[in-house]
Amino acid sequence: MTGFRLGYVPGVTPAKWSRLWAERLPRIPLELVQVAAAEAPDLVRRAELDAVLLRLPIDRTGLHAIPLYVEQTVVVVPKDHLITAADEITTDDLADELMLHSQDDVLDWARPPGRLIEDRPARTADAIELVAMGTGLLVVPQSLARLHHRKDLTYRPLTGVPESQVALSWPEGATGELVEHLIGIVRGRTVNSTRGPAVPKRAAQKPARKTVQKTTQKTPQKKPRRRR
């Protein structure tokens, strides 16, 4: 049986799932391929990848997608920026800020608040460089902020905006045995688990009643009176 090509967008870390794959399917190599977020869906549609870990939403035409987990949205700022005084940022805090939005790796729904710089950098790494130069601020999933960490930058959680959702996607009509194995791995199924319907939990058994031993008190017998 041939190997399996699994793509993943920047910030997503499939290492744990890769190790589980190697333990369960040691004879089938799993090739991990990092791909740009904008290209990920089409690479799967063209069968250049067997499956891909990407961020929703996407155009699901011809694709399956199962959500896996949600990422916190953050705003990347220089360390000496005024908003770093707060533990978390609201959209109102960014109303007067210049905001960057990269063409790659950042979702279209994440159009940030504030004054958007229309000349979009090609990659998140380029946008991070512009933040460091003081050109503007950048809204990204937290995993991307960590991936592009710099000593002169920091980030704060941003409330009032959607969170990004990481999902596993693969072509419609291609849910074969290997895809089923991968779905089981990313969903945390054990080796012996099946895809059948979940077995309903048995109703909790009522605790056994405690047997209370009744102690019958004997009425003390009167001693016979002595005759005088």
Q: What is the pLDDT of residues 140-185, one digit of tens each?
A: 899 999 999 999 999 999 998 888 899 999 999 888 999 999 999 9
- Please report which confidence band the pLDDT of residue 210 belongs to, taking 50, 70 and 90 as the band edges: very low
- C-alpha 138/C-alpha 129 separation (Å) is 10
Position 190 scores a pLDDT of 78
Position 213 scores a pLDDT of 45
Tell me the residue ranges of DSSP E strands in 23-114: 30-34, 51-56, 63-71, 73-78, 98-100
Position 212 scores a pLDDT of 42
Between the CA of residue 138 and those of 73, 128, 149, 225, what are the distances in Å?
11, 7, 13, 106
Position 129 scores a pLDDT of 93
CATH class of 4-70+166-186: alpha beta
Q: What is the pLDDT of residues 44-82, one digit of tens each?
A: 999 999 999 999 988 899 999 999 999 999 999 999 999
The pTM for the full model equals 0.76
Where are the chain's structural domains?
A: 4-70+166-186, 73-157
Q: Which of 4, 56, 39 is nearest to 166 (CA)?
A: 56
Domains 4-70+166-186 and 73-157 alike in fold: yes
CATH number for region 73-157: 3.40.190.10
Strands 30-34, 4-8: pairing kind: parallel
- Please report which confidence band the pLDDT of residue 197 belongs to, taking 50, 70 and 90 as the band edges: very low
Q: How many CB atoms lie within 10 A of CB 114?
A: 18
Strands 115-116, 98-100: pairing kind: parallel
Strands 137-141, 98-100: pairing kind: parallel
- Please report which confidence band the pLDDT of residue 24 belongs to, taking 50, 70 and 90 as the band edges: very high
Does the pLDDT of residue 112 top 60, yes or no? no
Pair 57, 31: CB distance under 8 Å = no
Averaged confidence pLDDT in the chain: 82
